[in-house]
């Protein structure tokens, strides 16, 4: 079975491309052209049966991902399925199953069966858990263990996979030579780096990349090239290790595209505000405009409990500067496994950041949404305002709790509402310029 990229190169507009085009208000032929050259990825595993396809990349609405999944502390899958439902309800475009708890296979299968949106996975997590359980240590993992895990997750219907192929011995040596405050903070990056240092071998995900491409081509899995060397604090941003990995990822993008395998590239991390635009431009240049998927970036390290905000600040600039896909950050980041309320807040906050960028990028429909809200506010049409709100339930709750019934103005201004005043005195007079 051919991949979306292979079919696009043959000049075929697939059903998935048509659905993406309809959602994005862009001609289907434009979607096909961009899928063919790799600047758009349609993450749609052939075995994900109830998926509504969505595109990530050039000219499209900035997408939002929500992370869910079990942990060794909270191994029950049921709360994660409720988080999935909440993420979908709040408008997430994708979820990633980061499960490391009991029965990872069952957790993944249930999430994929339950999800109408894209599902991503991190095969290295499961391979590591398996190695620890069977052999007592992650360093006993074999490259065949990794490939078997990738194949199993692809067969189950994972639409995209984070693969830490760019964590090479050269990148680790550059990190050691330059020095870092926080070394490696990526969980997958630390797993594979520990394996490499213990075994004194190159990264098997890098050395067996052609075998990985075989699997991803078979199931049309989009590779999300993981940023295992991403900075975990602003002091480590844009250093030699991060950029060495990024150069490697650019080469791996080329190799995937030659096979007709779709690919995205993952990016930082914790980045000072004044370095974000440069990071986005570097990725787009080195990776030939492949879709860019970023965590944040978080613009400061001092706000645990509010990192959804530090992430949104960076996410908007990142998307304006070229990022295509924002991974949400919740108020629980750096503190705990997020609960369902954290998921809600994380998705809505990331969507606000994405929409703010889409206004600047001229994404179809973005400005129209804001204009409708402005018109509703001018008319003091509260029903329209609440319907147009990105989080209608919260808006209705605030409006209903703090305003008299059927009051035209809000309780912030009361009798001195600027909108009511200007309606009374300005709109009833003819404009002097008409004289």
228 is in an annotated binding site: yes
214: number of CA atoms within 13 Å, CB side?
A: 7
174 is in an annotated binding site: no
- Residue 288, Ramachandran bin (φ over 0: left; ψ between -120 and 50: alpha; else beta): left
CA-closest candidate to residue 99, choices 153, 164, 148: 153
164 is in an annotated binding site: yes
355 is in an annotated binding site: no
Contacts of residue 316, Cβ cutoff 8 Å, sequence gap at least 6 = 353, 354, 356, 357
Task: Find out whether the peptide bond into 297 is cis, omega within 30 degrees of 0.
Answer: yes
Q: How many helical (H) and strand (E) elements, i.e. helices and strands, does the chain have?
A: 19, 10
Contacts of residue 428, Cβ cutoff 8 Å, sequence gap at least 6 = none
227 is in an annotated binding site: yes
412 is in an annotated binding site: no
* 372/384 Cα distance (integer angstroms): 9
367 is in an annotated binding site: no
187 is in an annotated binding site: yes
433 is in an annotated binding site: no
186 is in an annotated binding site: yes
188 is in an annotated binding site: yes
Give the DSSP letter string of 340-392.
HHHHHHHHHHHHHHHHHHHHHHT-TTHHHHHHHHHHHHHTT-HHHHHHHSSSH
229 is in an annotated binding site: yes
**Beta-strand (E) ranges in 106-244?**
118-121, 160-163, 222-225
206 is in an annotated binding site: no
* 279/271 Cα distance (integer angstroms): 9
Q: How many residues does the chain have?
A: 435
351 is in an annotated binding site: no
Residue 227 sits at the vertex; the CA angle it makes with 225 and 233, to the nearest 5 degrees, is: 165
The single residue listed with the structure tokens 């189950």 is 156
344, 345, 346, 350: CA torsion to nearest 10: 110
Contacts of residue 357, Cβ cutoff 8 Å, sequence gap at least 6 = 62, 315, 316, 317, 318, 319, 320, 323
Contacts of residue 60, Cβ cutoff 8 Å, sequence gap at least 6 = 20, 24, 26, 40, 324, 363
Structure tokens given for 193: 């780096």
129-149: string of b/e by CB count within 10 Å (b at 16+)?
A: bbbbeeeeebbebebebbbbb
165 is in an annotated binding site: no
267 is in an annotated binding site: no
- Residue 68, Ramachandran bin (φ over 0: left; ψ between -120 and 50: alpha; else beta): beta
Binding site, annotated residues for [4Fe-4S] cluster: 410, 413, 417
Binding site, annotated residues for Zn(2+): 270, 334
Binding site, annotated residues for substrate: 67, 96, 125, 164, 186-188, 227-230, 266, 293
Binding site, annotated residues: 67, 96, 125, 164, 186-188, 227-230, 266, 270, 293, 334, 410, 413, 417
């Amino acid at each position: 079975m051919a991949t979306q990229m292979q079919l696009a190169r043959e000049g075929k507009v697939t059903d998935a491309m048509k659905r993406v085009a309809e959602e994005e208000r862009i001609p289907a032929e434009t979607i096909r052209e961009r899928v063919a050259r790799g600047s758009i990825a349609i993450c749609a595993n052939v075995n994900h049966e109830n998926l509504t396809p969505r595109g990530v990349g050039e000219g499209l609405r900035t997408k939002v991902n929500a992370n869910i999944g079990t942990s060794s502390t909270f191994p029950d899958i049921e709360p994660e399925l409720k988080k999935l439902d909440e993420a979908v309800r709040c408008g997430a475009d994708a979820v990633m199953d980061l499960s490391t708890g009991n029965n990872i296979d069952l957790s993944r299968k249930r999430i994929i069966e339950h999800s109408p949106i894209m599902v991503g996975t991190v095969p290295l997590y499961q391979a590591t858990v398996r190695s620890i359980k069977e052999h007592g240590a992650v360093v006993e993992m074999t490259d065949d263990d990794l490939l078997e895990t990738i194949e199993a997750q692809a067969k189950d219907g994972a639409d995209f996979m984070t693969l830490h192929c760019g964590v090479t011995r050269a990148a680790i040596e550059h990190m050691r030579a330059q020095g870092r405050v926080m070394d490696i903070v990526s969980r997958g990056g630390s797993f594979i780096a520990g394996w490499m240092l213990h075994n004194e071998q190159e990264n098997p995900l890098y050395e067996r990349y052609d075998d990985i491409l075989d699997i991803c081509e078979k199931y049309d899995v989009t590779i999300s090239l993981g940023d295992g060397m991403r900075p975990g604090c602003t002091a480590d941003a844009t250093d030699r290790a991060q950029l060495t990995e990024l150069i490697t990822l650019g080469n791996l993008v080329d190799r995937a595209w030659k096979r007709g395998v779709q690919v995205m590239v993952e990016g930082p991390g914790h980045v000072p505000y004044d370095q974000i635009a440069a990071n986005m431009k570097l990725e787009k240049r080195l990776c030939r405009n492949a879709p860019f998927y970023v965590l944040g970036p978080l613009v400061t390290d001092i706000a645990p409990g509010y990192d959804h905000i530090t992430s949104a600040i960076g996410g908007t600039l990142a998307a304006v500067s070229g990022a295509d896909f924002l991974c949400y950050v919740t108020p629980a980041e750096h503190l705990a496994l997020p609960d369902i309320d954290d998921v809600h807040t994380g998705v809505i906050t990331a969507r606000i950041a994405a929409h703010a960028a889409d206004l600047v990028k001229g994404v179809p429909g973005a400005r129209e949404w804001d204009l409708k809200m402005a018109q509703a506010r001018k008319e003091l049409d509260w029903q329209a305002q609440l319907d147009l709100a990105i989080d209608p339930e919260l808006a209705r709750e605030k409006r209903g709790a703090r305003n008299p019934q059927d009051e035209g103005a809000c309780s912030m201004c009361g009798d001195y509402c600027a909108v009511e005043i200007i309606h009374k005195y300005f709109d009833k007079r003819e404009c002097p310029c008409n004289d």
